[in-house]
Amino acid sequence: MKTQLKSFKISLALLVLLGTQITQAFQQPSKITAVTVYLDGAEINREALVKLNSGKSEITFKDLSPQIDESSIQISGLKDASILSINYGINYLSKQKQSDSISALQNELKNLNTKIQYQYDLIAGYNEEVSLIQSNKHLGNETTVVSLEKLKTFATYYRTRITDLKVAINKSNSEIEKHQTTQANITQQLVEFNVEEKVQTGEIKLKLNSDHITSLDLKIKYNIKNAGWFPIYDLKADKINSPINLEYKAHVFQNSGCDWTDVDLVLSTSDPNTNNEKPTVNPKYLNFISPYSSYQSQRATRSYNYKYNPLVKTVTGIITTSDDGLPLPGASVIEKGTSNGVQTDFDGRYTLTTTTGNMLEYSYVGMKSEALPIHSSIMNVVLESDNQLDEVVIVGYGIKKTSTSSIQASSIQHMIDEDFDDEPYIKPENYTANGNIIEEGITNTSFKLTKKYSIPSDGDVAVIEIDKFSMPATYNYFAAPVLNENVFLTAKIGNWEQYNLLPAEANVYFEGSYSGKTNINPSATTDSLMVSLGVDPNIVVKRTQLNDYKKTTFIGSNKVINKAFEIEVKNNKQVAIQLTILDRIPKSQNKAIKIDDIDIGNSIYNENKGIMTWELNLKPNTTENVKHSYVVKFPKGKRVNL
């Protein structure tokens, strides 16, 4: 008896020891509680209440996004438990759940397929009956004569039944056509909802070890792709000399495979996908190269803060040169990664309907190419001259090398920016006008929204108002008729750094009416933010070359060209206006080209840049003229880009 009892105790002890080695495996539901949305991507915060036995446990979190960055997974709330391993994988057998509205449409498609097949089956039956009647329409044979009465009866039946069958077949075809039309409409609606056939989900398998039974409030944090936000602004001005009201809105989208339901939302201006590796500067060694060899000069990576806007389907703009601001006809605009592209017209304008790409590439012979994210429906681009190498000019049967250099002239926008004085900086508040919390990080700004939001995983956009401002502005009319004879109403906003703005498109509303779109670029290194409010057709500016100066003479070995221009301005408005006009005197970068007899009239002249500025105060229904002239001298037989 004692031997049996001892054996039982040993067996019980072994069983307890083995029990501690058994791994508890179970699936654990989790819920998304908070999301930080970046300009590209998002950080998901999930919570799960887990009860652990002592020993090892394997927990599987199912129905997650299939687009999780595995290296970003973090687990907290472990207390005394320790992590043995974390594994992330794709479950191809688990299907993502569609929204109720999308599921209803997909079910309707299946029902329509069933109805269409039923009509096809009816048509097949009708055709079989027609074939049967037609194959048995002979009533008699060579020896039997059919009576007239029987013939009439059969003819009536044949005619009536065949007619009924043909009508039934036409009716079924009409039903099929109606169902197919409905099918096409539903399919188009699903395309509008950005619905994809989703068949896989993500899973996180977590192995833990605990010395005792415990309950854990686990917090799972990870980053995903196919999500982000981009800003949109509404600029509203009731009248000149009144503040501009700016509504700062965020367009949030996600197609991660998991709906965000009643979550705490934070919008961050950070982008975790940006290359954070600092560049290494190595020595640069010069050597001779063959004029026939292919050589691509190294170019620094441009710093842009533009982000892809998936709502933009059509892009328009103007491509100009950095040398003189003139348009580039024949420049190429291609959607990166596709064959979809266009060329600019004579005025440097282009319009491109986008397809699947998210960047546009701009190129022109002799210019440095640009690649920009599709961030706005208006994308005006300035291309710089590629003067890293000597230009190779093919002349006849030979090759002639001529050294070229870029004309260092500032763009019109830079000239506008330099026209304004500095204004004092005001420290931003910690809250937006809507009560959202502003958190200033070392390298980014975050907006912590006070309300909870639900954003489905359908790629559609949720519009969230971040903030709104009433910004003091100085209004001024502006014209540069050397480039564009339209007159633009502009507003200068000082101290713009306090508003935490990003480069984005803005809808402009002036005097209660929609005036069009403009772009806001706070990344410019200027003290004031200039916003164009649109063209005012009631102010007319015309630049003409004076006929008396349209002459070319020769003095010795030099060719002399006289240039004189008159700018006529007419104010057809019922109020007085202040108008800034810019024009330019060309600057020579070759000692053989001389600019003499410069007459700038009553303008303010920047001699270094050759820019003339007139500040005009025009009364209602008045006209004013300004003039300027110059003489260009250069050797005979040469051509100058006048």
What average pLDDT does the structure give for the chain?
80
- pTM, full prediction: 0.66
Alpha-carbon distance of 59 to 397, in angstroms, equals 77
Q: For the chain, which residues make up each domain, given as ranges?
A: 25-97+198-225, 100-192, 540-635
| Residues 331 and 383 sit within 8 Å (Cβ to Cβ) | yes
| Tokens 């002349």 sit on residue | 395
Q: What is the pLDDT of residues 213-243, one digit of tens each?
A: 999 999 999 999 889 998 899 988 888 778 8
Q: Residue 206 is inside which H or E element, if any?
A: strand 201-210
User: Residue 134 in 3-state DSSP?
Assistant: helix
**What pLDDT is recorded for position 293?**
53
| Residues 493 and 528 sit within 8 Å (Cβ to Cβ) | yes
Q: Residue 332: is its pLDDT beyond 60? A: yes
Alpha-carbon distance of 397 to 314, in angstroms, equals 45
Encode burial over 55-94: b for 16+ CB neighbours within 10 A, e otherwise: bbbbbebebbbbbbeeeebebeebeebeeeeeebeebeeb
Q: What is the pLDDT of residues 152-165, one digit of tens each?
A: 777 777 788 888 88
Poorest-confidence range of 469-473, 508-512, 526-530?
A: 526-530
Cα of first residue to Cα of last residue in the chain, in angstroms, is 119
| Residues 89 and 203 sit within 8 Å (Cβ to Cβ) | yes
Return the CA Rg of the chain. Answer: 38
Instruction: Report CA-CA distances (Å) from 315 to 305, 335, 376, 565, 624.
Output: 18, 11, 7, 35, 38
**What pLDDT is recorded for position 117?**
92
How crowded is residue 455: how many other Cβ atoms within 10 Å of its Cβ? 22
CB within 8 Å of 545: residues ≥ 6 apart: 563, 564, 565
Q: What is the pLDDT of residues 66-124, one digit of tens each?
A: 889 988 999 999 988 999 999 998 887 766 666 667 778 888 888 999 999 999 999 99
CATH code matching the domain that covers 25-97+198-225, chosen among 3.40.50, 2.60.40, 1.20.1260, 2.60.120: 2.60.120
The band of 181, judged by pLDDT with boundaries at 50, 70 and 90, is: very high
Q: Residue 391 is inside which H or E element, if any?
A: strand 391-395
Alpha-carbon distance of 570 to 572, in angstroms, equals 6
Q: Residue 3 is inside which H or E element, if any?
A: helix 2-21
User: Residue 28 in 3-state DSSP?
Assistant: coil
Q: What is the pLDDT of residues 262-276, one digit of tens each?
A: 999 999 988 887 666
